Amino acid sequence: MNINLTLVVQMIVFILLIWFTMKFVWPMILGPMNERETRIAHGLAAAEKGEQELAAARDQAETIVREARERASHIIEQAQHAARDLVEQAKGAARSEGARLVAAAQQQIELDTTRAREALRREVAGIAVRAAAKLLGREIDARSHADLLDKFAAQV
């Protein structure tokens, strides 16, 4: 066992190897490692952000659905109300139309009745005059006895 030139050669090899590792190995391995680390950190942060956004979107969607449901029920209520109104209106219109028709019919009936009574009265007056003339034996001048006749007719 002795110290010899091997020592110097080994030192040179050692220094060269350190230089090689420092220049071509260490940074090329640690660089991508650190880069990957930051990328993973970014990815995790993005995932968390995405999750938060998803939760927010879900909340928003829920709000929108709730609002839509409320509006829909409101609209349905309104429609039911309107339909009821419409029915009521139609009912009212029908009722008044019926009343009008009834009134018109009654009027017509009254008119016809009056007219019939008038005709009947004339008929009765005529018959009465004729009967009176027969009784009296002479013709009653309709014109000279108009007042009398009218009075009679009114009594009938």
Partner 1 sequence: MAGMVAAEQTGGATEYIVHHETFLSNKVPHGIVDFSAINLDTVFFSVLLAVLFGGAFWLAARRATTGVPGKFQLFVEVLVNFIDNQVKDTFHGTSKLIAPLALTIFCWILLFNIMDLVPVDLLPAAAHQAGFQHLKVVPSTDLNATFAMSISVFVLMIFYSVKMKGFIGFISELTLHPFTAKNVFVQALLVPVNFLLESVTLLARPVSLSLRLYGNLYAGEMIFLLLAALTLSQGLGSLASIGGWTWIIVQIALGFVWSVFHVLIIVLQAFIFMVLTIVYLALASEHH
Chain residues that interact with partner 1, rule: CB under 8 A: 1-11, 13-18, 20-22, 24-26, 28-33, 35-36, 39
Shortest distance, CB of residue 8 to partner 1, whole angstroms?
A: 8
Shortest distance, CB of residue 70 to partner 1, whole angstroms?
A: 50
Of the pair 20, 99, the CB lying nearest partner 1 is at 20
- How far apart CA 47 and CA 43 sit, in angstroms, is 6
- Pick from 131, 135, 128, 134: which is nearest to 154 by CA? 128
Shortest distance, CB of residue 48 to partner 1, whole angstroms?
A: 21
Of the pair 45, 119, the CB lying nearest partner 1 is at 45
Give the HSE-up count for residue 148: Cα atoms under 13 Å, Cβ half-sphere: 10
Shortest distance, CB of residue 45 to partner 1, whole angstroms?
A: 17
The pair of structure tokens assigned to 9 is 């050669």
Of the pair 1, 135, the CB lying nearest partner 1 is at 1
- How far apart CA 155 and CA 149 sit, in angstroms, is 10
Of the pair 34, 114, the CB lying nearest partner 1 is at 34
Contacts 24+ apart (CB under 8 A), 114-118: none
